[in-house]
Amino acid sequence: MKKRNRMDLFSNENGASLVEMGLVFPVFLLLLLGCVDFGRAYYLAIEVAGAAQAAAVYGSKNPSDTAGMTTAAQDDAPNVPNLSVTTPTYGCECADGSSYSASCTSTPSSCPNNIGVVYRVNVTVSGTYTPLLKLPTLTSMTFTSTASMRSAGS
């Protein structure tokens, strides 16, 4: 049996790549989970914005149906946890965007040059996101989106 020199033990590279992989793998795994978490948050933000837009589109066709606007938002984003729709509002304003009236019981009469009156619907939708990685500074986030749309009025 051949006796090994101590210097031979330090110059032997068998298993070095396994040690390197063991050191780098947790960093890559944490990076991958962070990317997945960011993607989920971005997806939720897009879903909330889409739900607000869907409710506003519905409201532009049916301005007084606030329950229908809420349903349209909820139907557009069924995968969003804790989706909440604040009570949609609608009002009347001049076609040039001036003289907004919060309710259409009194239409704006001060429209310049006798331009028409249009409806404006405002919808605010929010959803709560809980990340996969439980960090002490980041427990949950709330994404909020507001959409407004105008349609032909009286």
Q: Which of 99-103, 135-139, 140-144, 146-150 shows the lowest mean pLDDT across its residues? A: 99-103
DSSP letter (8 states) at residue 152: E
The whole-angstrom separation of Cα 76 and Cα 110 is: 38
Q: What is the mean pLDDT of the chain?
A: 83
Ordered by start, the domain boundaries in the chain are: 14-152
Work out the end-to-end distance of the chain between its first and last CA atoms, rounded to an integer number of angstroms.
103
Residue 38: φ, ψ to 5°: -65, -40
Q: What is the pLDDT of residues 9-53, one digit of tens each?
A: 566 677 788 888 999 999 999 999 989 999 999 999 999 999 999
Burial class (CB in 10 A: 0-12, 13-18, 19+), 71: middle
- Percent of the chain whose predicted confidence (pLDDT) is above 90: 38
Q: What is the pTM of this model?
A: 0.76
SS3 of residue 135 by DSSP: strand
pLDDT of residue 99: 74
Residue in this structure with the two tokens 């031979």, named with its chain if needed? 8
pLDDT of residue 137: 79
pLDDT of residue 150: 84
Q: Is a pLDDT exceeding 70 seen at residue 106? A: no
Rounded average pLDDT over 78-98: 84
The helix-helix angle for 66-76 and 16-61 (nearest 10°) equals: 160
The whole-angstrom separation of Cα 57 and Cα 75 is: 13
